Amino acid sequence: MNWPYELIIGWRYTRAGRSGRRNGFISFISGVSMLGIALGVAALIIVLSVMNGFQKEVRDRMLSVIAHIEVFDAQGAALADWRATAAAAARHAEVKGAAPFIAAQALIARGDEMRGAIVRGIDPAEEVKVTPIAAQLKEGVLAQLKPGAWGIVLGGELARTLGVVVGDPITLVTPNGQVTPAGVVPRLKQMTVVGTFDAGHFEYDSGLALMHLDDAAKLFRLEGPTGVQLRLANQQDARRIGTELGMELGPTYAVRDWTRSNRNWFDAVQLEKRMMFIILTLIVAVAAFNLVSTLVMTVTDKRADIAILRTLGASPRSIMGIFMVQGAASGIIGTAGGLVLGLAVAYNIDVIVPALEKLFNASFLPGSIYLISRMPSDPQSSDITPIALISLVLAFVATLYPSWRASRVQPAQALRYE
């Protein structure tokens, strides 16, 4: 018996069992196994796609405020000639924009309210080349950040916490105070709020303020920018390009990409995604190994058929192949069904979730809490391909023991009571 016959008989066994109580029960168990595999694969695809969507949403909002890569002086000093540093970094083919900045911590006060914030000094003309938030601000806001005008742009949540609007004065308190006969006195500077921004990322909306580079240098007593921000052609290559720039610029500079600037968040997301993949894969594994019981019952039910095939010349290897085809077919059908269902939900989740919210009169993502009013989804082939392969491998492994058991059936013993 050659392989095509094994394939035909194995597929016939997969479709058989529609008549008779025993065969019907085996067929039902086989269907449940396929359904379990399909649901497990679909759940994996949907959950990982939603996690990718959330990750992409948060990442895009984060990168609307910060640059892909930041270059500093290795000793922490101000850059005497930031244009030379920017020109050196721009020699890399992936660098598409550069701008100077000053980053420092300060307290912002308004009446009785006081909040800590990261103050970033920027050059309005250059900032639009590296951060999208600069281009998203209302027209004319950045133009009001002029040297000596002492204007400041606050994150929307920070402005709401302080209770200020455009045109209100605020007091900036710097950590490097002035030494007087009475002791160290904090340096205070009154500034005017010229605009606000809402990036959709709470950390920056509640703790970031923008001011002109020259004003920041005077306020924090710096001789120049503390670093240079870089925008890349592909933000996903930031870690690799950051390493390459570090080697090209030499030991006098320190290079930090956005994944290292937000390492805790980045690592937490990767760990959570990895754990969810493992947990949901166990669901697929349980469903796949249900095929073991299905095939064991099939082998028991088909002992007479196996004996007849053996007497006709079928080898143990051929018998094993027949039942491996049956189990593999169930795994392939279940995996294919899961892929279709999972991708259908993942690509249409923006339609499905609003329909469910309307049906149950509930809000799954309150905008006031999550700052995202829709369920994001981003199916990626790097997730879907391993899911399909793992499901198929588990289904194949589950067929080995029942198939081996079928190949060990002795014709004489099987036909003794027939």
Q: Sort 295 into a burial class: Cβ within 10 Å, 0-12 / 13-18 / 19+.
A: buried
Report the alpha-carbon distance of residue 418 to residue 305 in Å, rounded. 11
- Same domain (yes/no): 325, 206: no
282 in a structural domain: yes
C-alpha–C-alpha distance, residues 34 and 41, integer Å: 11
The pLDDT score that the predictor gives to residue 5 is: 54
* 205 and 120 within one domain: yes
pLDDT for position 416: 59
Chain-centre distance for alpha carbon 161: 30
Are 22 and 301 in contact by the 8 Å Cβ rule? The answer is yes
Is residue 151 helix, strand or coil?
strand
Same-domain check for residues 244 and 270? no
Q: Are 218 and 297 found together in one domain?
A: no
- Report the pLDDT value the prediction gives residue 370, as an integer from 0 to 100: 58
Same domain as 273, residue 222:
no
Query: How many residues are present in the chain?
Result: 418
Its pTM stands at 0.73
Domain boundary (217, 250, 283) is at 250
Mean pLDDT, each 10-residue run in order, the chain (418 residues): 55 55 58 84 90 84 86 84 88 89 90 88 87 76 86 90 90 76 72 87 86 90 89 88 88 86 77 85 81 75 70 72 77 90 90 82 65 76 89 85 74 58
Rounded alpha-carbon distances, angstroms, from residue 76 to 107, 127, 255, 318, 324: 22, 22, 12, 72, 65
Same domain, 97 and 226: yes
Per-residue pLDDT at 412? 59
Strands 113-122 and 208-212: parallel
The pLDDT value recorded for residue 1 is 43
Residue 399 token pair: 């067929």
- In this structure, is residue 255 part of a structural domain? no
Quick check: is 70 in a domain? no
**37 and 134 together in one domain:** no
Question: Do 84 and 208 belong to one domain?
Answer: yes
Longest Cα–Cα distance of the chain, Å, equals 111
Answer whether residue 261 is part of any domain.
no
- Helix pair angle (21-63, 263-301), 10° resolution: 170
Looking at the fold, whether 95 and 229 belong to one and the same domain comes out as yes
**Residue 144, domain extent:** 75-250
* Domain endpoint, select from 250, 275, 304: 250
Q: 365-393 burial by CB neighbour count: b if 16+ within 10 A, else e?
A: eeeeeebbeebbbbbeeebbeebbebbbe
Q: Look at residue 266 in the predicted model and tell me its pLDDT.
A: 75
Let me know whether 92 and 241 are in one domain: yes
226 and 100 together in one domain: yes
What is the tally of structural domains in the chain? 2
Q: Are residues 197 and 140 in the same domain?
A: yes
